Amino acid sequence: MAKQGNIKIASENMMPIIKKWLYSDKDIFIREIVANASDAITKFKKLADMGECTAGDGKYRIDVRIDKAAKTLTVEDNGIGMTEDEVEKYITQIAFSGAADFLSKYEKAGGEGIIGHFGLGFYSAYMVSENIEIFTKSYQDGAPAVHWQSDGESTYTIEECDYSRRGTKIVMHIAKEEKEFLEQGTVRSLLEKYCAFMPYEIYLDAEGKEDEKPVNDTQPLYLKNPKDCTEEEYLAFYRKVFHDYHDPLFWIHLNMDYPFRLKGILYFPKVKSKVELERGKVKLYCNQVFIADNIKEVIPEYLLLLNGVIDCPDIPLNVSRSFLQNDRQVQKISKHIVKKVSDKLTGLYKTDREKYIKCWADLSLFIKVGCLKDEDFYSKVKDIVIFKDLSGEYKNLETFREEVLAADKSAPQNEAAGKEEQEEKKEEQPTEKPATVYYISDEVGQAQYISMFRSAGLNAIVCDSFVDPHYISYIEYKESGKFRFLRIDADVDAALREGGAVDEEADKRLAEAFSSALSVEGVTVKVDRFKTQEVTAVINVAEFARRFGEMNAFYGMEGADADRDMTLVINAANPVVAAFPALEGDKQKFVAKQVYYLAKLSYKKLSPDEMKDFSANSVKLLDDFVR
């Protein structure tokens, strides 16, 4: 005869609370139920291994069955099973009171959620079920099978039944509004998401058609010893887990048991753009049970640019994210992961520079973002951050600095300065002076400047990613006194100048006449003499003003235009500029505008009105040429 009882929980009706707090996470029930089945098998296996019971010839497995006609989803295991007393204890008392306790913690977390959600357990099935039945038979000899059922409200029934096999079967009668959980595709995707690496084979049976192969991999690659894994296995695992058919650059296999348990594989994917920075996914597991993607309290945020699997049984799961942030064990795990990543990168840089350089286009964004986010990571990898120079060679910044300082020392001294004056300047020099490192941000747009630099024997680094302006500013701050970065259009380096005597009064008159003829608001005209005569003029914008404008533009703020601080440097060594003072009024205006437009085209795009004017002037020049 069936025995009835009341569920002893604090609330008369737990369902509204479950729906309120866990509605968006309802699919987690399948992980909780299957994880319970896995635990039941583990417990029995341990007893069998200790000789306390006979394992038998059966293979350990978990079966998940869908019956649309009966509107049921069933999870069955051949684990330890339960007696009637154990059902009363673990289901009626602990499961329901545990659910109430869990929801209390969930609510106190302030909506930020409980990591992993473990602790919800059996009761999670009521998020999608209107009624649940349990059929179970204990491994203990002579123990009768038990049938338990409840609608999750306040009552249940329990009685003996004829369930003949050892283990437990959970039959969930799916609610009408949750019929999606009777779809084979939905159930399969949830099993693949939450149960992909559970330690016992899971078979899906839909409408009596059972899969030939289990839906999970009971021995995922990350559990193996790294020395036993082949490159083909690493690549196959990556494609299977992340559905990315672009092979990763390389990977790190994490495998340690002390002072904490941590296993996993982190893959470095190809990342070449700002958009792709968000595509990384690091899956966190606990004893082969999926917890969540991208838990930044465990994996530093910048490492989430990677793809990977991390399995760490020592991470507390039934806690809030703020707790994880302050947990020392979690902090140690996080630092260890960072160290392994930095060790891998520095090791590759030292032992296989060619491969490192080949991968740099993809690694660059990841490493620089990591440096900006984490000082400890920066200290470990700062010497392996490399830049391409004008000759296409890759070097770190310290190498550039040494080359700049060496070039400064070998530069010829001003012969007009006496020996006594030169000695005084040497004494005034600091022991470590900042090296001016020039950089380019657009190899095509700044081609004119690049040509001038190459002709003068100067070098520059290539900064061509959105993060580079932030990174070089960070370097100037972190390595204060060692580096000064200038874009090649920020100033005219001494090595670009022709040298020799200068008629300051004549230059002043030329600058005033050119400025008057140009008549463009906000543009200052300056006269200089370049070694190359081909260039009529260049645009210079103060480094600070331009960086400030770029930063505002990046964040969509006002004040992004740095043209207010633009300087037009005209080249008095150029024949056109040299002939300018002798031209008449209209011709001066024509030449001034054309010289300005040519210089500005090497700096940025012309405005629509400027482009119209420039095109008209160009047509006039062609017309004059053919006449």
Q: What is the mean pLDDT of each run of 10 residues along the chain (627 residues)?
A: 63 54 73 92 90 80 96 96 91 69 59 56 87 95 94 86 95 95 96 94 90 93 96 95 88 90 92 60 89 82 88 73 70 90 95 95 90 94 96 94 83 47 48 83 87 90 90 92 90 82 88 91 90 89 79 62 75 92 90 92 83 90 83
CA 298, 301, 302, 304 torsion: positive or negative? positive
In degrees and rounded to multiples of 5, residue 526 shows phi and psi of: -130, 145
Torsion of CA 603, 605, 608, 610, to 10 degrees: 20
Contacts for 498 with CB less than 8 Å, ≥ 6 apart: 529, 530, 531, 573
**Of the candidates 223, 280, 234, 229, the residue with the CA atom closest to the CA atom of residue 256:** 223
Which pLDDT score, from 0 to 100, does residue 273 have? 58
Asked whether 264 and 252 are in contact (CB, 8 A), the reply is no
Which pLDDT score, from 0 to 100, does residue 381 have? 96
Asked whether 149 and 132 are in contact (CB, 8 A), the reply is yes
What token pair was written down for 503? Answer: 């008629």
Which pLDDT score, from 0 to 100, does residue 491 have? 84
**Single-letter residue type at 288:** Q
CA–CA separation, 413 and 422 (whole Å): 8
Give residue 36's Cα distance to chain centre: 33
CA 46, 49, 53, 54 torsion: positive or negative? positive
Contacts for 488 with CB less than 8 Å, ≥ 6 apart: 438, 439, 440, 446, 449, 450, 453, 460
**Single-letter residue type at 383:** D
**Of the candidates 120, 166, 165, 151, the residue with the CA atom closest to the CA atom of residue 27:** 120
Residue 379, CA atoms < 13 Å, CB-side half-sphere: 4
The H-assigned helical ranges of 184-310 are: 184-194, 231-242
**Of the candidates 408, 417, 335, 409, the residue with the CA atom closest to the CA atom of residue 374:** 335
Element (DSSP H or E) covering residue 38: helix 29-49
Strand order in the sheet with 537-541: 523-528, 566-571, 537-541
Neighbour tally for 467: CB within 10 Å: 19
DSSP state of 260: S
DSSP state of 289: E
Question: What's the pTM value of the predicted model, to 2 decimals?
Answer: 0.80
Which pLDDT score, from 0 to 100, does residue 14 have? 57
Q: Which domains does the chain have, with CATH numbers?
A: 3-210 (3.30.565.10), 221-382 (3.30.230.80), 385-411+430-484 (3.40.50), 497-627 (1.20.120.790)
Which pLDDT score, from 0 to 100, does residue 415 have? 42
DSSP state of 175: -
Beta pairing class for 386-388 and 394-396? antiparallel
